[in-house]
Amino acid sequence: MKLKYWASAFAVLTAGLSAQAQAPNATGTLSNDVLRIGVLTDISGVYADISGKGAVEAVKMAVEDFGGKMFGKNIEVVSADHQNKADVGAAKAREWYDGGVDMINDLANSGVALAVAGVAKEKKRHAIVNNASNVGVTNAQCSPYTVHYTYDAYSLAHGTGKTIAEGGGDTWFFLTVDFAFGIGLEQQVSDVVRANKGRVVGAARHPLGTTDFSSYVLQAQASKAKIIGLASTGNDTINAIKAANEFGVTKNQKLAALLLWIQDVHSLGLPVAQGLQLTNAWYWDMNDESRAFAKRYMQRVGQMPNMAHAGDYSSTLHYLKAVQAARTDDPDAVSAKMRELPINDMFAKNGKIRVDGRMMHDMYLWEVKKPSESKYAWDYLKPVKTIPAEQAFMPLSQSTCYLVKR
């Protein structure tokens, strides 16, 4: 990308950060004379590229941009690998909360996110989910202390799934990763397909971290469904797409990658990924603000940020602003401020956290570019449509969260 282009984008961010740095930091009190944020993520597993160390850096960037201190006291960031195991994640969350961690962020893996949400409710401490999709976070496991920030299965289903179903994709077969994330996503998309008078003709469930998709792809091919829905993400989706291309499945059937990341497109390459549609909350090349953040992130991490990394940054900054506005780290006071304060930053405009913990913001449908359409590094997506927040996320009338008044 041209240097002048980056310089202009960087100037936008620099001006914003300078203004923030000049804002007075309100006086207040911290319970332990320190504010601690934990990043619980996948450091070494199949989701490491889409969460992992990049999530940790995004949170650190938010803390640095806030000024590194709250009421004159240090803001600390700690991190750990949950190994994609719900029991490991819950145990680490319990240890952290008991040891003085005020908020846990990222939470890649729906099983882990649901488990940690339960611990957060019990301990009355904050958890922000940016890298998991199961809608149970704002339903069965909702509490005043848990926020589902970036995306969820409902928004993916009503983005990619609905668009394909309305476009004639009326028969589906799913390749589903066999745990809470994949099962929940398959269910949400199936509901959308049936609502559009389509049929689900079958599904094959595979373990997390599957490398050989040949048998699953052959089942999908034999189903003769028009659409093969990939209810997976990360390396699982990458391997499934590669296998589908190798077996010639894409000649007669269309793939629907229900949760595809910019890192997945980068790994697959445009010749393989071109034409795939995906629903994302954010893309690094959306505007000057997103490009400026992405450049700083790229310098630290070595790759472009995805929507969850942007969500990690935005949600951490929002949490810090809420603590500052509440003049205390008391969880109930901070929860109230998080729901009161609007969110206007490089991730979302006019964002708002609902009573059930769902952060409401627009979602976007994108299409992967052809190789000939890409003009510079990481130039992979083109916009298809904007999905307004009220259409993108489950309406409160359908929520089972106990906080929602009937």
Mean pLDDT of 65-78: 98
The pLDDT value recorded for residue 6 is: 42
Q: What is the pLDDT of residues 343-395, one digit of tens each?
A: 999 999 999 999 999 999 999 999 999 999 999 999 999 999 999 999 999 99
Mean pLDDT of 131-138: 96
Please determine, looking at this structure, whether the domain spanning 154-280+364-392 carries the CATH number 3.40.50.2300.
Answer: yes
26 pLDDT band, cuts 50/70/90, is low
317 pLDDT band, cuts 50/70/90, is very high
The pLDDT value recorded for residue 10 is: 45
406 pLDDT band, cuts 50/70/90, is confident
Maximum pairwise Cα distance, the chain: 65
Q: Is 315 helix (H, G, I), strand (E, B) or coil?
A: helix
15 pLDDT band, cuts 50/70/90, is very low
CB 192 within 8 A of CB 220: no
- Quickly list DSSP for 372-386: GG--STT--EEEEEE
Mean pLDDT of 307-334: 98
248 phi and psi, to 5 degrees?
70, 15
Mean pLDDT across the chain: 93
The pLDDT value recorded for residue 2 is: 40
Name 128's bridge partners.
105, 147
pTM of the entire structure? 0.91
CB 233 within 8 A of CB 307: no
CB 59 within 8 A of CB 75: no
Cα separation, 316 vs 208, whole angstroms: 29
Q: Which two tokens stand for residue 151?
A: 């995306």
> Given a cut of 80, is residue 185 above it in pLDDT?
yes
Q: Which two tokens stand for residue 111?
A: 């099983």
Mean pLDDT of 158-182: 95
SS (H, E, C) 27-86: CCECCCCCEEEEEEECCCCCCCCCCHHHHHHHHHHHHHHHCCEECCEEEEEEEEECCCCH
CB atoms near residue 298 (< 10 Å): 15
Q: What angle do CA 39, 43, 48 make, to 5 degrees?
A: 110
The pLDDT value recorded for residue 9 is: 45
Tokens 């259409």 correspond to what residue? Answer: 391
Q: Is 179 helix (H, G, I), strand (E, B) or coil?
A: coil
The pLDDT value recorded for residue 23 is: 44
Name 361's bridge partners.
none
Q: Which two tokens stand for residue 194?
A: 């049936």
Cα separation, 355 vs 110, whole angstroms: 21
Total residues belonging to the chain: 406
Cα separation, 362 vs 89, whole angstroms: 30
The pLDDT value recorded for residue 92 is: 98
Nearby residues of 36 by Cβ (< 8 Å), 6 or more positions away: 75, 76, 77, 78, 96, 100, 101, 102, 103
Locate CATH 3.40.50.2300 in the chain: 3-151+286-361, 154-280+364-392
What Rg value do the Cα atoms of the chain yield, rounded? 21
Q: Is 322 helix (H, G, I), strand (E, B) or coil?
A: helix
Q: Which two tokens stand for residue 402?
A: 């106990």
Which of 5-14, 27-36, 214-223 has the lowest average pLDDT? 5-14
Name the more confident of 26 and 135. Answer: 135
The pLDDT value recorded for residue 121 is: 98
The pairing of strands 363-368 and 277-280 is antiparallel
CB 286 within 8 A of CB 194: no
- Which amino acid is residue 249, in one-letter code? V
Instruction: For domain 3-151+286-361, give its CATH number from 3.30.2350.10, 3.40.50.740, 3.40.50.2300, 3.30.70.890.
Output: 3.40.50.2300
Region for 297 from its dihedrals, namely left if φ exceeds 0, alpha if ψ lies in -120 to 50, beta otherwise: alpha
Nearby residues of 132 by Cβ (< 8 Å), 6 or more positions away: 107, 108, 109, 110, 112, 113, 114, 181
Helices 180-195 & 110-123 angle (0-180, nearest 10): 110
